[in-house]
Each structure stands twice: as C-alpha cells, then as structure tokens.
C-alpha cells in the first residue's frame, strides 16, 4: 500500500483537531481511560469508549459511573452528547482518528510482565487500522513495548509508520481520588516512534492538557514512567526499613520524619506503612527489573526495595502477635478488626492493597477477621466475601485488637474506635490524637 507523505498525514490530523472533527477512541474504561474520555468530550470532541466488559458498557450507557473521580452528573454530560459511543465492538475504532490504549498491565505470579491486554487491544486495532490513524499506548509497560511489539504488528498491515499511521507512547499519570490534580492539570509526557508521531500526540494532548513534555522516543517515555514509580517505591522501602530500626532503638519514627521534614532542601517526606498498593508502585518496578535482566543487568537496589515493601504485611502480622502477647492472648482465636482496606485514603480501590495479604495471613494463623471501611462496602479475597461491619452499640468492644491499615480522612470516628477497642496496631499514625490512658497502641 503506497503511503501518504509524513507532512500530509500530520497536517490532516492537526486540521481535524483544530476543527474539532476528530473522533477520539479510548480502549479500556477504567480509572485511566474514563477520565481521559470525559476530558476529550468536555472539550467538544466526539468520543468512542471501548471495553471488553459488557456490564461496564451498560452502566456507562445508563450514565452510571463506577469511577469515583467521574460522578454521575459528569458522566451524564458525556452521555448527553449525540456523538458519544460506549461499546464492546472494536470495529467502531475504524471511525476514530486517534486511538488511546488504557488497558491493565498486571504481573504474572512469577513477577514477569503480563502484556496480554496490550497485545489483545493492539491486535484488534490492527484489524481496523487505516491511513490517518494515530495510536497511543498509555498502559505502563517495559521499555521497548511500543517499538518492539506494537510497531511490527501494525506494519504487518502494509502501512508505513509516519506516513500512513502514527504511533506514540504517553504514560498515564492519573492519581485516583486526588482532587488537586485532575487529568488536565497533570503534565503529559509524549514520545513518538517518528517526529511526526510525536507532534501528532503532542497536538492531541494539548487539547485537554495544559502542559505536554516531549521526549525523543517512545522508549524514553516508557522508561520515565517506571522511574517515577520506582523512585517512590525505593523511598518508601527506605522509610519502612528506617521504621524497623527506630522500633529497635525505641525512637518514634513519626517524630523523626516530622523533624527531618523541617529541612527546606535536600529532603522529601515519605511515610512508612503496611505495604504498598495500587496498580503502579507494587508492579511497575518489576517491568524494568525483568527487562534489565534480559539484557544481563541485575538491578539490585530496586529488587531489594521490592523485598522490603512486599514483606511489610508480615511485619504488621508480627506487631499484632506482639500486641496480643502483651495482654496474654494468642493470635489463634482472637478477633481482629482491620480499619481501612483501600490501598490509600479516601478512595474505594483495593487493588494490591496490603490489607488483602494481611487478612489472609491472619486467617492462616487462626484469627477471626472483620473490617471497617467507609469507602469499600464489600471485599472478595480468594473465594471468601467480606462486608464492612455496620457499627452498632457494643460491637467494637468484642474485638481483641484493631489494626489501622488505611487512614481515611472521612467516615471514620477514630476517637470512638480508640475508646471501644483498647488494643491497637497503628501503621499510619492515625490514632495519635485520640489515644487515651486505657488505649495501648503499638506503632509501626
């Protein structure tokens, strides 16, 4: 198939953006894809949302949101546009001018990358790829995925990169529940396979984002995302290890951190915790570790940070045992209340939450476990379903020990919990202000 000139395809794409006649397709309508789709719709673009989950599509068609950052009234405005389409039919992508892939990228049990969702989406795109398309991958992945996996797959259609279609990578930076930074507020990193690809992606994102940062290649953009989250992972691991040292020395880690944070330069405040959760920080470093090992480089520092962070639920388990021993109780048969199961405060997302592993560890030791979380009404752990307890008079007093895992700022009366459960393990420094003479707290 003869290709168009690189300037011609780019000019035609930019003109559609300027005229607001471009249709934007989003594959994967989760916490990344749906807010991005809403942002383009709000700017006057026709949008197509594709997801393999038919129940999710039906909810969207009824303007019922399952994403906390997209309330129903906001989704209703998207659905009110006649040009909006939510579908499971990938053939609808043929009518799109830009296609953005926002699918999950989990790890296998071996901790190796699982890019099957990316591959599945790319194969569907390849069926309907035609001259003029811009395809952007946003899913976090290992460096080289765009060039080594997507590009050959699309070129096999007989289309020329930069002349018939354009391809780029732009890492997602959504922070669920963060009201200070919405989609349009977060600078976007963009790296294309060719200069025309980069320019097209830059012009697209400039429609909804204030700042777009251009890098020299898709590989650089892919690597930058992993650096962002690895930076957080290793610093969390450092402060988690520091917390263990402080416990050994009889020093309050929280007071130490507050003191260090008064330095106006050269220090960034990180907090210890029961482990790391969410889709990014626990998973992303493994993508680079795996890729590095393929090239004969052993990333020792990153691997050690992962070991420390992934071991924190067991550290918390030991603290619970220590706390119960202090009142001459065995963990086996004790009633334990987990306070907060979301992976971070004020959201309903439990992906990779350390609470999940801790609950399983407690079960394995014979403990009876319940939880309270105002944002998470029910929880599925393996084949068991748990519901957040409904607090009634006298119920809290039946628990032998409480464990703070997530420090929600809403929906939790910490004073009441402290008053009625006398023994606590606090991994988030949440109970400092409500501690009483009758409350014994073991701090992380």
Supply the residues annotated as catalytic.
280
* Phi, psi dihedrals of residue 242, rounded to the nearest 5°: -65, -35
Query: How far apart are alpha carbons 25 and 202 in whole angstroms?
Result: 16
Closest C-alpha to 306, from 330, 290, 322, 318: 290
| Enclosing H/E stretch for 418 | helix 414-420
Strands 368-372 and 335-339: parallel
Closest C-alpha to 120, from 142, 148, 149, 147: 149
Q: Positive or negative CA dihedral for 213, 301, 307, 320?
A: negative
Q: Kindly list the distances between the CA atom of residue 184 and the CA atoms of 113, 187, 252, 305, in Å, as whole numbers in the listed order.
A: 29, 8, 40, 32
> Is there a contact between 84 and 46 (Cβ–Cβ < 8 Å)?
yes
Query: How far apart are alpha carbons 149 and 395 in whole angstroms?
Result: 55
Q: Which residue has the tokens 């969702």?
A: 117
Strands 85-87 and 46-50: parallel
| Enclosing H/E stretch for 339 | strand 335-339
Query: How far apart are alpha carbons 334 and 103 in whole angstroms?
Result: 41
Helix or strand or coil: residue 113? Answer: strand
Q: Which residue has the tokens 């794409």?
A: 13
> Is there a contact between 138 and 145 (Cβ–Cβ < 8 Å)?
no
Closest C-alpha to 229, from 174, 269, 281: 281
């Amino acid at each position: 198939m003869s290709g168009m000139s690189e300037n011609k395809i780019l000019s035609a794409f930019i003109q559609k953006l300027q005229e607001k006649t471009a249709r934007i397709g989003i594959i994967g309508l989760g916490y990344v894809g749906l807010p991005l789709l809403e942002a383009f719709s709000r700017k006057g673009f026709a949008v197509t949302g594709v997801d393999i989950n038919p129940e999710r599509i039906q909810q969207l068609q009824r303007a019922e949101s399952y994403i906390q950052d997209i309330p129903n009234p906001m989704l209703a405005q998207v659905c009110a546009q006649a040009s909006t389409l939510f579908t499971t039919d990938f053939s609808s992508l043929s009518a799109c001018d830009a296609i953005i892939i926002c699918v999950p990228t989990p790890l296998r049990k071996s901790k190796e990358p699982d890019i099957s969702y990316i591959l599945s989406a790319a194969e569907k795109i390849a069926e309907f790829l035609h001259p003029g398309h811009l395809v952007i991958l946003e899913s976090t992945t290992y460096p080289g995925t765009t060039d080594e996996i997507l590009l050959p797959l699309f070129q096999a259609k007989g289309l020329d990169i930069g002349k018939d279609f354009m391809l780029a990578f732009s890492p997602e930076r959504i922070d669920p529940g963060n009201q200070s930074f919405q989609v349009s507020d977060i600078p976007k990193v963009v790296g294309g396979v060719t200069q025309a690809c980069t320019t097209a992606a830059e012009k697209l994102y400039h429609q909804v984002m204030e700042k777009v940062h251009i890098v020299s290649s898709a590989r650089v953009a892919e690597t930058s995302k992993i650096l962002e989250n690895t930076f957080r992972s290793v610093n969390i691991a450092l402060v988690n290890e520091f917390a263990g040292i402080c416990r050994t020395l009889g020093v309050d880690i929280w007071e130490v951190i507050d003191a260090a944070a008064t330095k106006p330069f050269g220090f960034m405040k990180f907090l210890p915790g029961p482990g790391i959760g969410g889709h990014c920080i626990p998973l992303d470093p493994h993508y680079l570790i795996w890729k590095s090992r393929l090239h004969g480089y052993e990333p020792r520092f990153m691997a050690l940070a992962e070991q420390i962070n992934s071991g924190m639920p067991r550290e918390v388990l030991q603290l619970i045992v220590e706390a119960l021993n202090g009142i001459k109780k065995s963990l086996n048969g004790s009633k334990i209340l987990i306070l907060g199961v979301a992976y971070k405060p004020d959201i309903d997302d439990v992906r990779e939450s350390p609470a999940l592993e801790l609950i399983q560890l407690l079960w394995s030791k014979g403990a009876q476990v319940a939880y309270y979380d105002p944002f998470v009404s029910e929880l599925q752990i393996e084949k068991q379903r748990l519901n957040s307890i409904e607090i009634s008079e006298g119920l809290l007093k039946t628990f032998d020990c409480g464990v703070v895992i997530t420090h929600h700022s809403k929906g939790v009366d910490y004073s009441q919990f402290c008053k009625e459960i006398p023994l606590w393990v606090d991994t988030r420094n949440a109970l400092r202000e409500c501690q009483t003479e009758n409350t014994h707290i073991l701090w992380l």
